[in-house]
Chains A and B, each alone.
Chain A
Amino acid sequence: MSVITYRQALRDTLRAEMVRDENVLVMGEEIGVFEGSYKITEGLLKEFGPRRVKDTPIAEEGFVGAAVGAAMLGLRPVVELMTINFSLIAIDQIINHAAKIYGMFGGQSSVPMVIRTPGGGGQQLGATHSQNIELFYSFIPGLKVLAPSTPAEASEMLRAAIRDDDPVLFLENLGLYNSKGEVADDYAEPDNDSVATIGRAKVTREGSDITLIGYSRMAMVAGQVAEKLAEEDIDVEVVDLRCLRPLDRQTFVDSVKKTGAAVICEDDWLTYGIGAEIAASIQEGAFDYLDAPVRRVAMAEVPMPYAKPLETAALPSVESISTAIKETLSAVGKRVG
């Protein structure tokens, strides 16, 4: 085992997949000469040349759609969208084309492509660069949406995404790129076949008092919350959704059946958000087991402000999630702290 950053896990895995399969190419704005806005593609142009590392003009609809067309002919493009906010320019190609082509033509053509893109607020980027709109893609049958939270998951899930024959939206997070974690020693080997199973959530920490559910950066924050509350003798079970579509409901419902209470933490807005679907699933799957209403911790419903105190206040935090957990537990009469 070695400890590396989430960024390095992505970069080395992407490189390994390019070595492994000639059909894998990467496309996006500033990924070649500039080596990536967040340096995930650092060194790739030098190693693989401009045929396989294609810098694109600022034309998200054009190059995402071109990736879809190339995938229809059997290439495996990995497209980088500089942030998920820019995916809105390409949304017709993602939703009306990438997600539809396999079904709409009766299974004649698959679309084996990956769209890598970071979400995440908290960087003082203002309203149009701080949104978490993975919900839009998680809503769409035909897409697969992955949201890894650790370097090891990032590596195994990226490998799975590239080798999968369907269009995958691969959600990264600005707040995770520098986070560190353990990975297997051979994580960067082209012949490494340990791929994550798409469509499975994971209990990342066992606990008995309450279930805390998150994904991407919020799964990492959930782990921090659990560690902190453990000091106060609150035993939190953490579920990392890992995959937003297909959604593994059984894993978190089973957890809630065990603990009797749930808090969901999400980096998106609450109303109609990912957490709404999780909460609805819990009420349907674990109604008789719930000792308290399901609680959601989500962003304040405003366009994200630039000013630091306002931005910080708008985002879920270890403190706000801890408070929600304690309030939920007091509501059911469980001992708190």
Chain B
Amino acid sequence: MADTAKPKGRTAARSSGTRRRGRKDTSPGLADEKPDTLLDYYRQMVFVRRFEERTAQAYTQARIGGYCHLNLGEEATVVGLMTALRESDYLFTNYRDHGYAIGKGMDPKRVMAELYGRTDGVSKGWGGSMHMFDTETRMLGGYGIVGGQLPLAAGAALAISYRGGDEVVMCQMGDGTTNIGAWHETLNIAKLWDLPIVFVVVNNFTGMGTTVERSSAEPDLYKRGAAFRIEGERVDGRDVLAVRDTAARLVERAREEQTPFLLEAWSYRMKGHSVVDPAKYRTDEQKDEARSEENDPIALFGEKLTREGILTDELRDEIAASVKAEVAEAAEFAENSPHPEVSTLFDYTYATPVPNESTRMPADPVFAE
């Protein structure tokens, strides 16, 4: 088991709601890495950070509605996981999905337009924050029901296996998902049916406001595949290279061996559960911890690249400026995209049209003249 980030003690973990980890840098070295690739990861992480900050801003300005869950603090996990997938691989996630959508290849402009509920959104404004979806990039959905995506992801893997394809499915979820029935049913089926799928638990230690220790009798979540003979590993989700390497290894094993794997990524959620959550259940100390540089994947990776002379101040500024411009462009694109016409309200009830589909508006009589 790759267990590079052991908690210091469960008592401390219980009381803090987040977990401190060793400061020793156990992450992969950079000797074999291409500088451009590393800078690309860094830029992608910065992009997710700024995109989410812009999203939060637009949300508080009421440009974005509904629930809105951000990937702030989870950038290394997001980028590392997405880097491990091939374009032809499929992705299912939970509702904290903006970063994954972008990481899987969706146009950020169309992701932002979806957040704005506009026609140029990836789902034409029908999904919103929790439901990013794009058949072309094979991001088959953010899902808002905890655990709902698990059986679906197994089904996608079943279809791959049925056709003898070489794609793999990655199924992302939060730590709270490991206690719902769909988790148990799906992991069992995935192993029984030899499905090429990697289940990824992003453990940010808190399901909404309930800590892992308060919700899971076995809080070492990567061990919870054992009941199904599914190998599990844990990785430091603050470390983009560690996430990439571990995820890539499991994804390739799933592809080769046609069997499921489980990956737990420890990752900090910098803010509340959603934009509107002030996280009062966290103490000031816990909030500081979640936002500290020590746990900030971008600060950590930036520091490392700077130490190695790969990221200069000049490059950092350049990346910051180009990301800022691209995020602003996405927001402007979303702002200018048209709202959907009310006349399209009944366009997506059924894929195969049949007689007597209802197109009645709320006050219409059942029998129109």
Do A and B come together as binding partners?
yes
Residues of chain A with a CB closer than 8 A to B150's CB: 65
| Docked complex Cα distance between A111 and B141 (Å) | 14
User: Do B127 and A104 touch across chains, with their CB atoms under 8 A apart?
Assistant: yes
User: Do B162 and A108 touch across chains, with their CB atoms under 8 A apart?
Assistant: no
User: Do B154 and A144 touch across chains, with their CB atoms under 8 A apart?
Assistant: no
A-B contact count (CB 8 A): 181
Q: Give chain A interface residues in 68-117, CB to chain B under 8 Å.
A: 68-75, 77, 92-93, 96-97, 101-112
Taking the complex as formed, is B140 at the interface, i.e. its CB lies under 8 A from any CB of chain A? yes
Residue in B185, B349, B366 whose CB lies within 8 Å of A103: B349
**How does the 8 Å CB contact mask read for A49-81 relative to B, with 1 for contact and 0 for none?**
001001011010111111111111111010000
Q: Are A106 and B154 also in contact (CB < 8 A) when A61-B182, A141-B349 are?
A: no
CB distance from B75 to the nearest CB of A (A): 25
Taking the complex as formed, is B152 at the interface, i.e. its CB lies under 8 A from any CB of chain A? yes
Q: Are A57 and B155 also in contact (CB < 8 A) when A104-B127, A107-B348, A246-B354 are?
A: no
Q: Are A67 and B365 also in contact (CB < 8 A) when A62-B186, A105-B133, A108-B134 are?
A: no
Taking the complex as formed, is A199 at the interface, i.e. its CB lies under 8 A from any CB of chain B? yes
User: Do A106 and B124 touch across chains, with their CB atoms under 8 A apart?
Assistant: yes
**How does the 8 Å CB contact mask read for A189-205 relative to B, with 1 for contact and 0 for none?**
00000000111100000
Q: Which bucket holds chain A's interface residue count?
A: 35 or more
User: Do A66 and B188 touch across chains, with their CB atoms under 8 A apart?
Assistant: no
Which of A247-255, A267-275, A300-308, A321-329 is near enough to bind chain B? Answer: A247-255
Residue in A77, A93, A197 whose CB lies within 8 Å of B354: A197
User: Do B141 and A105 touch across chains, with their CB atoms under 8 A apart?
Assistant: yes
Taking the complex as formed, is B156 at the interface, i.e. its CB lies under 8 A from any CB of chain A? yes
Residue of A103, A112, A165 contacting most chain B CB atoms (<10 Å): A103
| Docked complex Cα distance between A65 and B123 (Å) | 21
CB distance from A170 to the nearest CB of B (A): 14
Pairs A–B under 8 Å by Cβ, sample size 21: A25-B162, A61-B181, A61-B185, A65-B150, A66-B158, A68-B155, A69-B156, A70-B156, A75-B162, A93-B151, A97-B143, A103-B348, A104-B127, A107-B348, A141-B349, A165-B350, A165-B351, A199-B356, A199-B357, A200-B356, A281-B366
Q: Residues on B close to A: CB < 8 A?
A: 90, 92, 121-127, 131, 133-135, 140-141, 143, 145, 148, 150-160, 162, 181-182, 185-186, 188-189, 192-193, 347-352, 354-358, 365-367
